[in-house]
Amino acid sequence: MAQFPKPLGRLVGELSKLPGIGNKTAQRLAYYILSLPDQEAEALASSISEAKHTMHYCSVCGNLTDRDPCEICSDPSRRDDVICVVETPQDVMAMERIREYQGQYHVLNGVISPMEGIGPEDINLRSLIVRLQQHPEITEVILATNPNIEGEATAMYIARLLKPSGIRVTRIAHGLPVGGDLEYADEVTLLKAVEGRTEL
């Protein structure tokens, strides 16, 4: 049985390491890439190298950026009295999509997870404390870690850590997603939704 030629096999191998790309999809992508004009394939390859070389973590907030400080940290039109703590740069983009939040961010680039041996020292948390000490204008920290066990634990940890400073620490609300269905909501979400009910 004929095998893949080596360069093709290597390309398939590299592509299939990507999340959600199985061997079959990797083969389809590889053949597609080989069918592209030279400069288009080169554009794909160089965009990977370029992004990898130029993107780094913002020294202020920990977000992924191509400058330092990042676009958000260096934007003078944004509020500087509130920091939203998120787990990943993707979460920053999600927050930005609501087009409502105008404050700063702090990206943990991880989450406390004793199961995986990730403690508070392993995430971008120490710089948050330093930041809060250096910027007394910050009056609120919004904890927007994910609503799962690790995210909750991390939020609790940070809340306890910041308690002595007297800064207002808030947690984004748990509840039913808009457009969701009460009947199909899981018990914990529904419980949280009831607990977090607001006056109308």
Q: Which residues bind its own copies (CB under 8 A)?
A: 1-8, 10-11, 13-15, 17-21, 25, 27-34, 36, 38, 40-52, 54-55, 64-67, 70-72, 75, 88-90, 92-93, 96-97, 99
Closer by beta carbon to its own copies, 28 or else 131: 28
**Shortest separation between residue 58's beta carbon and its own copies, angstroms:** 10
**Shortest separation between residue 106's beta carbon and its own copies, angstroms:** 14
Helix 23-35 to helix 6-15 angle (10° resolution) is 120
Closer by beta carbon to its own copies, 5 or else 179: 5
Separation of alpha carbons 34 and 81, rounded Å: 51
Closer by beta carbon to its own copies, 5 or else 166: 5
Closer by beta carbon to its own copies, 40 or else 195: 40
3-state secondary structure 106-161: EECCCCCEHHHCECHHHCCCHHHHHHHHHCCCCCEEEECCCCCHHHHHHHHHHHHH
Separation of alpha carbons 110 and 91, rounded Å: 11
